[in-house]
Each structure stands twice: as C-alpha cells, then as structure tokens.
Amino acid sequence: MKLGTLTGGQETATVSGFAIDHRKVADGCIFGAFEGARVNGEDYIAAAIAAGAVAVVARPEAVVDGAVHIADANPRAAFARLAARFFAPFPEVAVAVTGTNGKTSTVEMTRQLWRMAGHHAASIGTLGVTTGDDRVSTGLTTPDVVTFLSNAAGLAREGVTHLAFEASSHGLSQYRTEGLPVVAAAFTNLSRDHLDYHGTMEAYFDVKMRLFSDVVVDGGAAVIWADDPLAADVEGIAAKRGLRVLSVGTRGEALRLVSREPTLLGQGLVIEAEGKSHTVNLPLIGAYQAANALVSAGLVIATGGEVAATLAALARLQPVRGRLERAVICRSGAPVYVDYAHTPDALEAAISALQAHASGKLIVIIGAGGDRDQGKRAPMGAIAAAMADVVIVTDDNPRGEDAAAIRAMVMEGAPGATEIASRREAIGAAIAMAGPTDIVLIAGKGHEQGQIVGDLVLPFDDVSVTREMAA
C-alpha cells in the first residue's frame, strides 16, 4: 500500500507495516514516536529511520530527518487511524467493554452468547485472543494498537464476524483500540484502580468515558449496568452522543433483574424484558457474575440478538478462566476457588459471592501487586478481615517493590491475618485447614500463568498449584 493512500497525500513510498518499538521497524514501516511514562519514543526516531522507516508519526516539534514526518498534536490517535486504514477490514460487528471489574468475563460471555446464536465470534482482552477453537495470550488487557488491529484483521480473514474486546483505561488513554468501528459499548462499574497512572478517580472515570464520547460510532449503542452509582453519568454521556441506551440490572429498563436466588451450583434469575418475565438458571455463582451475564446479554441484544433466545442462552454459559473458577475439591470436601480480584471492590464481590455457599469457614488468601496503586492495599486487607473467617496474606506480583513491605501494607488492614510469604505455602496452609463445610478463595492472580518478581516472570498458576497441593 502506498503511503499517500493512507495519508491522502502524494507520497509514493510503499508501506509494509507499523511499529511503535524502533527495534521492530523493518523496511517500509511507519514508526509511531510517542511520549511514554518511562520512555520517549522521539528519542528513537533516528534509529527507526536507519532501520527502514519511511514515515514517522510524531508531534509537530519532533525532529524527523530522512523520512516523511506525519505531524499531529495527538500522535497516538493519528497513528491509530493510519494503522486502521492499513489493516482493515475488521469483523463486521465489534463491541467494547470498559469498567473496573468484569471486563474479561463480559467479553468472554458475549463471545459465548454470539457463538450459541450461530455467529463466528471472538474476544480480545486479558485472556488473550479467544475464539471457539483456540486462545492466544497477548499479555495485556488491551494490547498495543499494532497488535490489536492486526489481530482484529486476522480474525476477520479467518471468518470471524463478531468481536468483543476489553477497553481498559490504559488502552483508552493511549489510543490502543482507535480506528476499529465499535457499534456498541458497555460500562460495567467503576471503583478504585490504576490511580498510580491516572492520579484521581475523576481522571480515571473521564478516560473510560472516551469509549462513549469518542470511540463508538455515530448511531451506536451503550449498554450500562444501571446499579452502579455512576450509571446516570454514563447514560448522560451516551445520550449526548445520540447513542441508543440499554440499561440492565435491578434498576435497568432494557433488562431488569427482578430477583436472584443462589442455588447449589449457580443462581436462579428472573429477568423482565419487553414486558415479559424470563426465568434463567445461570450456572455461575455470585451477584457480579449475574451482572456480567446481563451486560453481555445487553450487548448481544444491542447488536441484533433476539431477546428471549439470548436470555435463554445464559443458562449455557461456561465459567471464565480465573473468575470464581473452582480449581479443585479438597479431600476434606472443601471447594477451592480462584479469582482475579485485585481491587477492594472486586475482592468484596468475590467474597460476597462465596458467602452464600459457605456453611462453615470462609478462608481467603490475598496479596497485592507491586508498582501499582499502594492506596488499595490496606482497604483490601480490611475487606478480607471483615468478611472472611480466616485471612492469609501472601505475595502476589511484587515486581520491583519489596515483597515484605507490600504484605505489611495489606496487614495494616487485617492485623489478625496470618502472613505467609510463599504463595505456594499459603495455598497449602489454606487447604490443610479447610474442613468439609469450608470454602477457600485464592484472590488476586486468577488466570495468570506467572509470578512477577523483579524483572523475572516465574511460572506460577494458582489453579495448577492448588490442584498439586490438594492431591
């Protein structure tokens, strides 16, 4: 493809691809030079040109010598638009999900519901690229824009017609999903997370709202969890854009959750939609799983799904990896669940989900990640201490911080907790003390396959370790 075809100009250079890492530049690439939190891509413009870049997308004041300078005050957005033109076409129907918690479950449930309706569907997010046949890890909730757009285009070439993806706050802030036509977007909830990056809750909320104010196509739809305190604000932003609003939840208008009753292996839901009552036996436990399922159903309905058939399909949803996933039943008879909960709100939701099923003790293992928002650590400890019978504080992903210092911050909120540094030993201790009427929750890492210590990623899977310790 000629550069001029992408820019609308007269440039005749042939474009072979896009790169935001100068080490990945090849002959014919367009290089994106962005200011980052730790690295300024403008420092590598000369190296990218030496490697074969034919054009550089950068701020007007950047120095570009030897290649076409595509100048823009917002180079990330400009780079994404050009990359989208290069990689297109994409799946015919694309939806995005934002919020603090529930994004992964919601996009995966949406994919499952579409597939049950006969569509060739896929999802992109924390679990990687997921289709009905395979899953490939990308390592990030929202991968970089080049990976994201090339993946989306590749899925279209494979026949995928429906795509659901996670729109994280980092991804929205850095324009990682710009350029892909999004016909519907969903908001799950908002609670404290990533304040180390965004600074304030207001800034965190505002960047998530870009999904509705800027990303969704004109005439698109917004699916909103109506029970979140900020739901009315989200609805106002969506309505201002002229988006079709579908609210779901106990206060929802499109899908109203009339009642929810826990069952042995799930929960019974009564949902009112279009003036009719629908009874659903959802095979997943927890109020937040019901919320994710309803948001997913809303997205499917917003993109043409029939209401009754979509709600009926909720009864066939499969558990999502690392989201209240039952890893094993111990020899004592106690079930052990693994959940990705790594924020105060998510931890409270996970513990609440299991409380309804525990007649004995609820044993909870928690930790906190290093190089992330330190302010959430003590509150997470306090929530665990208030809601669980036994709390064990252990290491999560210490990254570049001192692991003992992180545990101490969590222990401030749970002074009566047991501290066990080794995550493997902590899991073993929880299993050893669990009786036949008890439940164990291992929170924080969920689906993750490694533990990040310093610059190393050590193999560690909560589910696999739990099964080993329970054997």
Could you list the residues known to form a binding site for meso-2,6-diaminopimelate, using ranges. 372, 396-399, 444, 448
Provide the β-strand partners of residue 403. Answer: none
449-457: long-range pairs with CB below 8 Å, 24+: 449/137, 451/395, 451/396, 451/397, 451/423, 452/369, 452/370, 452/397, 452/398, 452/399, 453/397, 453/398, 453/399, 453/403, 454/398, 454/399, 454/400
Residue with tokens 């570009």: 64
Known binding-site positions for ATP: 99-105
3 in Cβ contact with 54 (< 8 Å): yes
> Which residues, 6+ apart, have CB-to-CB distance to 43 below 8 Å?
none
Closest to 279 measured CA to CA, from 289, 269, 287: 269
Tokens of 262: 């826990």
The label of the residue with tokens 């014919």 reads 28
Q: How many helices (H) and strands (E) does the chain have?
A: 17, 23
Beta pairing class for 335-339 and 325-329: antiparallel
Half-sphere exposure of 444 (CA within 13 A, CB side): 29
What's the number of CA atoms in the CB half-sphere (13 Å) around residue 51? 20
19 by DSSP, 3-state: which? strand
Q: What is the DSSP track for 168-203?
A: -HHHHHTTTTTTS-EEEEEE----S--HHHH-SHHH
Instruction: Give me the amino acid identity at 182.
Output: V
Q: Which residues of 308-320 are buried (b: 16+ CB within 10 A; e: fewer)?
A: eebbebbeebeeb
| Pairwise CA distance, residues 32 & 322, whole Å | 34
User: Residue 404: enclosing H or E segment and its boundaries?
Assistant: helix 403-413
- 391 to each of 251, 420, 427, how far by Cα in Å? 34, 10, 11
Backbone phi, then psi, for 104, in 5-degree steps? -60, -50
- 178, 84 contact by CB (below 8 A): yes
Task: Summarize the chain as % helix, strand, coil (round to 5).
Answer: 35, 25, 40
Cα separation values, 102 from 146, 293, 322, 359, Å: 25, 10, 12, 27
Annotation: binding site: 99-105, 141-142, 168, 174, 176, 372, 396-399, 444, 448
Residues 47 and 58: their CA atoms lie apart, in Å, by 14
